[in-house]
């Protein structure tokens, strides 16, 4: 044994060393050397993951044949490569948002929700407190082991707290944490002393573990081979070597997952990995150094564990105490003391950081939001209040842990306490990871998930422990809540495949993540939540010039902001910060009365670093009178844009109408121009047509005038030509005028009841067919129509004369036929003349188009007949067209409406 006073002196000596180291590093920092700003210090600090539970517990677990302790280190090892993805993102967000704890990170993500901050804080404290107590237990038992009369007799606990050395050690630790953790209230990345001490302790616990390991392996035994051979040959112990008895693969897998979450979400891990990170690139070192550290510290676990089983076979010495029992039983008191210090360092580093992280959460996410909202405290110096609050929290947490250890821990199976804590913090995984990588996560979702997760955690893992201590009846465990078998804490909904820890982890995370995603999908985000979601998920996009980018609406006075900062950070620190702000953005803000959004955001972030994002937001909004963008404003903005859109639509419509009008005008203009051209063409054509007979008339007149010696035949032939040409001219002139009248609408068609049959017969009788054969094919009856008799006569005469012109006297055949076609009478005038080719069939109805055939004598027509005919038919409401096969003859058809005009006329009469 070691004398008790020696142990006490060593313990406090070690604590004093820590004090000195912490103080030294803070002094160095003032001179500009920041020990904490170093990738190795950062990586070593992460080893705060290895607690007394590692130091003593791993050996104990391995000694009992449990290999699952390995999974606790396998998870973080697997997590190391992922750190670049997850931890780096959290670091970046934390720097931008001045995040001071995990509670802060989660609350800030979901719209700086105070509720979430409070929930995470309470759950963290509840989850981690037993874990801290476990460390105290380790210290206590190792102290007893060392100073006790024999390692084979357990010493009873001191009956009075004042006589319990552990109580004083707890107080000493509190003092240390208070001194190095709460000197300023800004929390992010500035605890050089703390970090230096943690990384120093990381080296201490590792080195001591290795020394003990070497002692056991090479001095007590003859190397690893010796130990394993002896175990193998020992009938009672060789079962230790069979791997993974009584545990399945799923168990291993879920344990690995659990420890992967622990490395991210344990408050102390978050504190060192994220909050205390000074440079993202330190992660690169940590990614290989931290797994290496885990490997090395576990190197001697099996040799010590198996060696212990061999050495202390059939004794009461437990695996948990092998680390000290070896040196003690070989009378190596110095080595034993060293081993004790190693365990002490593992325990204290965890306690220091956990307590520190929890106290920060407590003040920033629990105390401060309450204070900030309370009128009573609006004038007190919050800075002082915060520091005292944090100090009190540290004391309270450690004392609670002490009491928990003293009165509860002894009744609970040791191993599970750490794992229960792991499961507790794993509840933060859905809300945090969801928040980092999914924009859809909502505050309601996060709260629902967390609450259900913790209820399940409590019910499946804590309740059984409470039953074990006798606080709850055993029946609850055996028959379930209210006697419902499905609600048994250890086989919820009948699930019996897992052991309690995995069972609890499964159900709590199942309900937690399920509810988180479902509620998120069915709830909506506020604008603030949406902003934060955007910022978190796309942090790499937004992390530059953050102050400029955030939309902020409201009005604050510079003096108010300065006052607020001074209240919380003190005058000196405020001046420093504002100076740095001036350096970055210029000094214009000093001259202005009202602060711009950059200054307000800056102040909010600085405050967030000290009192948490939620509290900072409250404080700022108190002085800023920030206008939350209300729904009405959103509506009015929307309405404005709606009106703009409508206006725009109207304008578009107007301009389209204008364009249309312009197009119509252009079209009309083009039509007019075309008409003009047509008119010109018409005039020049008419002129030309008139000149032809005129030329003949003049030529023959001159010939007659100049030649007295013409024969009688010649004279009469020439005179006849002159007369014919004169007639042709008059006919042309009258037809031009006729057509002009019809086209201009000057000449109206006089509709009267008519018999089409009579009109046809009349026209036929007026025509000289010169021996051509005529066939008439008319239906029975009068064929009543409404029409202008003279004009219809003109149509028929024209068509008949054309037919005669194009047929020869002897072989010519002309058919006139009438048939009914729907509501029309269709009149056909057919001949067996030379016909009209396809391309001319349309054009013959145009003015002055004459299908000329030079092998024949030129027809006598004026070129206007068919044009006039077409016009007359159209004025009667009918149509005219021609069918022709060249060489076989032509058929002209025209239609006339049967009776509708007639009925109108008759009813009118």
Binding site for other proteins (CB under 8 A): 687-688, 691-700, 702-703, 706-707, 714, 718, 721, 725, 852, 854, 857-858
* Cβ at position 719, least distance to other proteins in Å: 13
* Cβ at position 707, least distance to other proteins in Å: 7
Q: Which ranges of 745-815 does DSSP label H, i.e. alpha helix?
A: 756-765, 789-805
CB closer to other proteins out of 331 and 853: 853
* Cβ at position 692, least distance to other proteins in Å: 5
CB closer to other proteins out of 61 and 834: 834
* Cβ at position 658, least distance to other proteins in Å: 41
CB closer to other proteins out of 625 and 679: 679
774 SS3 class? strand
* Cβ at position 877, least distance to other proteins in Å: 36
User: Exposed, middle or buried: residue 179 (CB in 10 Å: 0-12, 13-18, 19+)?
Assistant: middle
CB closer to other proteins out of 690 and 875: 690
* Cβ at position 731, least distance to other proteins in Å: 15
- Sheet of strand 889-897: strand arrangement: 773-777, 813-821, 824-831, 889-897, 880-885
* Cβ at position 713, least distance to other proteins in Å: 12
Q: Where are the beta strands (DSSP E) in 276-355?
A: none
For the chain, the maximum distance between any two Cα atoms, rounded to a whole number of angstroms, is 178
Cα dihedral value 296, 297, 299, 302, nearest 10: -170
Neighbours of 846 (CB within 10 A): 13
Beta bridge partners of 880: 894
- The structure tokens listed for 87 are 């931890």
Beta bridge partners of 825: 820, 896
* Cβ at position 717, least distance to other proteins in Å: 8
CB closer to other proteins out of 566 and 721: 721
* Cβ at position 834, least distance to other proteins in Å: 16
* Cβ at position 798, least distance to other proteins in Å: 23
CB closer to other proteins out of 384 and 691: 691
* Cβ at position 812, least distance to other proteins in Å: 22
CB closer to other proteins out of 411 and 853: 853
Q: Which of 341, 325, 346, 399 is nearest to 161 (CA)?
A: 399
Round to whole Å and give the CA distance between 348 and 350: 5
CB closer to other proteins out of 710 and 751: 710
| DSSP H or E run through 629 | none
DSSP 434-470: HHHH-TT--HHHHHHHHHHHHHHHIIIIIHHHHHHTT
CB closer to other proteins out of 794 and 850: 850
CB closer to other proteins out of 675 and 723: 723
Buried-state track 536-562, b at ≥16 Cβ within 10 A, e below 16: bbebeebeeebbeeeebebebebebbb
User: Exposed, middle or buried: residue 530 (CB in 10 Å: 0-12, 13-18, 19+)?
Assistant: middle
* Cβ at position 845, least distance to other proteins in Å: 19
* Cβ at position 788, least distance to other proteins in Å: 35
- The structure tokens listed for 135 are 């460390």
777 SS3 class? strand
CB closer to other proteins out of 31 and 857: 857
CB closer to other proteins out of 689 and 788: 689
DSSP 174-221: HHHHHHHHSSSS--TT--HHHHHHHHHHHHHHHHHHHHHHHIIIIIIS
DSSP 660-729: HHHHHHHHHHHHHHHHHHHHHHHHHHHHHHHHHHHHHHHHHHHHHHH-TT--HHHHHHHHHHHHHHHHHH
Round to whole Å and give the CA distance between 85 and 437: 10
CB closer to other proteins out of 299 and 733: 733
493: number of CA atoms within 13 Å, CB side?
Answer: 8
CB closer to other proteins out of 652 and 687: 687
Q: Using N-to-C axis directions, what is the helix angle for 428-437 and 102-109, rounded to 10°?
A: 50
* Cβ at position 697, least distance to other proteins in Å: 8
* Cβ at position 838, least distance to other proteins in Å: 18
* Cβ at position 695, least distance to other proteins in Å: 4
Round to whole Å and give the CA distance between 92 and 540: 8
* Cβ at position 688, least distance to other proteins in Å: 5
User: Exposed, middle or buried: residue 264 (CB in 10 Å: 0-12, 13-18, 19+)?
Assistant: buried
- The structure tokens listed for 470 are 């006798």
CB closer to other proteins out of 521 and 719: 719
CB closer to other proteins out of 237 and 733: 733
CB closer to other proteins out of 331 and 680: 680
User: Residues in the chain, how many?
Assistant: 909
Whether residue 603 contacts residue 585, with contact meaning beta carbons closer than 8 Å, is answered with no
Indicate the DSSP class of residue 364. I
DSSP 855-891: TSPPP---S-HHHHHHHHHHHTT--EEEEEETTTEEE
Q: What are phi and psi for residue 408, nearest 5 degrees?
A: -115, -50
Buried-state track 674-704, b at ≥16 Cβ within 10 A, e below 16: eeeeeeeebeebbeebeeebeebbeebeeee
């Amino acid at each position: 044994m070691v004398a008790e006073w020696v142990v006490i002196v060593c313990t406090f000596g070690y604590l004093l060393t820590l004090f000195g180291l912490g103080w030294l590093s803070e002094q160095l920092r003032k001179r500009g050397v920041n020990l904490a700003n170093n990738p190795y210090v950062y990586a070593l600090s992460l080893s705060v993951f290895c607690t007394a539970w590692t130091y003593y517990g791993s050996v104990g677990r391995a000694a009992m044949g449990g290999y699952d302790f390995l999974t606790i280190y396998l998870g973080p090892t697997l997590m190391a490569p992922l750190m670049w993805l997850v931890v780096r993102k959290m670091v970046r967000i934390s720097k931008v948002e001045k995040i001071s704890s995990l509670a802060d990170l989660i609350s800030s993500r979901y719209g700086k929700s105070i509720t979430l901050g409070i929930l995470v804080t309470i759950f963290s404290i509840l989850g981690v407190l037993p874990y801290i107590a476990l460390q105290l237990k380790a210290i206590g038992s190792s102290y007893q082991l060392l100073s006790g009369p024999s390692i084979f007799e357990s010493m009873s606990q001191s009956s009075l707290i004042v006589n319990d050395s552990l109580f004083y050690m707890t107080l000493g630790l509190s003092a240390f944490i208070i001194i190095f953790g709460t000197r300023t209230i800004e929390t992010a990345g500035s605890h050089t002393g703390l970090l230096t001490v943690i990384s120093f302790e990381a080296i201490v616990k590792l080195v001591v573990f290795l020394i003990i390991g070497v002692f056991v392996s090479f001095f007590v035994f003859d190397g690893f081979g010796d130990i394993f051979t002896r175990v193998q040959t020992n009938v009672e112990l060789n079962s230790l070597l069979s791997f993974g008895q009584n545990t399945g693969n799923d168990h291993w897998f879920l344990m690995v997952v659990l420890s992967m979450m622990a490395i991210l979400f344990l408050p102390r891990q978050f504190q060192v990995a994220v909050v205390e990170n000074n440079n993202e690139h330190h992660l690169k070192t940590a990614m290989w150094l931290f797994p290496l550290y885990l490997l090395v510290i576990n190197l001697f676990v099996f040799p010590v564990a198996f060696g212990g089983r061999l050495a202390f076979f059939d004794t009461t010495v437990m695996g948990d105490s092998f680390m000290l029992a070896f040196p003690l039983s070989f009378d190596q008191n110095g080595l034993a003391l060293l081993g004790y210090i190693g365990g002490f360092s593992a325990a204290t580093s965890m306690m220091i950081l956990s307590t520190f992280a929890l106290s920060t959460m407590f003040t920033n996410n629990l105390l401060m939001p309450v204070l900030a909202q309370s009128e009573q405290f609006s004038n007190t110096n919050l800075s002082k209040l915060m520091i005292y609050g944090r100090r009190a929290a540290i004391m309270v947490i450690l004392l609670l842990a002490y009491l928990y250890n003293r009165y509860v821990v002894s009744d609970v199976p040791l191993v599970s306490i750490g794992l229960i804590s792991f499961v507790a913090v794993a509840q933060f995984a859905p809300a945090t990871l969801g928040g980092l990588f999914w924009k859809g996560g909502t505050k309601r979702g996060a709260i629902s998930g967390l609450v259900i997760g913790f209820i399940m955690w409590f019910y499946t893992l804590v309740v059984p422990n409470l039953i074990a201590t006798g606080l709850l009846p055993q029946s609850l465990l055996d028959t379930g809540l209210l006697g419902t078998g499905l609600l048994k804490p250890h086989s919820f909904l009948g699930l019996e495949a897992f052991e309690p820890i995995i069972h609890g982890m499964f159900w709590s995370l199942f309900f937690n993540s399920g509810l988180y995603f479902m509620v998120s999908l069915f709830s909506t985000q506020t604008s603030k939540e949406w902003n934060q979601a955007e910022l978190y998920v796309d942090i790499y996009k937004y992390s530059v010039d953050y102050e400029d980018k955030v939309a902020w609406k409201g009005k604050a006075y510079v003096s108010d902001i300065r006052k607020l900062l001074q209240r919380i950070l003190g005058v000196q620190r405020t001046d420093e910060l504002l100076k740095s702000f001036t350096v970055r953005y210029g000094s214009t803000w000093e001259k202005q009365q009202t602060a711009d959004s950059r200054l307000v955001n800056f102040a909010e972030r600085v405050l967030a670093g000290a009192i948490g994002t939620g509290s900072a937001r409250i404080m700022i909004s108190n002085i800023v009178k920030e206008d939350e963008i209300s729904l009405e404003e959103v509506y009015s903005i929307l309405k404005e844009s709606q009106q703009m859109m409508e206006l725009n639509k109207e304008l578009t419509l107007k301009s389209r109408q204008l364009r249309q009008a312009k197009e119509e005008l252009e079209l009309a203009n083009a039509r007019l121009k075309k008409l003009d051209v047509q008119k010109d063409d018409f005039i020049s054509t008419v002129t030309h047509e008139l000149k032809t007979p005129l030329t003949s008339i003049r030529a023959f007149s001159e010939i007659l005038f100049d030649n007295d010696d013409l024969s009688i035949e010649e004279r009469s032939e020439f005179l006849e030509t002159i007369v014919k040409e004169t007639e042709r001219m008059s006919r042309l002139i009258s037809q031009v005028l006729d057509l002009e009248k019809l086209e201009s609408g000057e000449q109206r068609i006089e509709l009267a009841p008519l018999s089409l049959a009579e009109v046809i017969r009349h026209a036929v009788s007026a025509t000289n067919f010169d021996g051509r054969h005529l066939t008439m094919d008319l239906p029975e009856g009068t064929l009543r129509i409404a029409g202008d008799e003279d004009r219809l006569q003109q149509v028929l005469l024209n068509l008949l004369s054309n037919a005669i012109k194009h047929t020869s006297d002897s072989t010519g055949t002309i058919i006139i036929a009438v048939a009914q076609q729907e509501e029309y009478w269709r009149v056909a005038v057919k001949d067996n003349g030379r016909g009209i080719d396809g391309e001319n069939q349309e054009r013959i109805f145009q003015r002055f188009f004459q299908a000329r055939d030079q092998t024949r004598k030129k027809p006598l027509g004026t070129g206007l007949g068919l044009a006039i005919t077409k016009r007359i038919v159209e004025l009667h409401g009918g149509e005219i067209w021609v069918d022709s096969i060249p060489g076989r003859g032509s058929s002209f058809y025209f239609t006339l409406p049967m009776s509708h005009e007639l009925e109108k006329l008759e009813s009118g009469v």
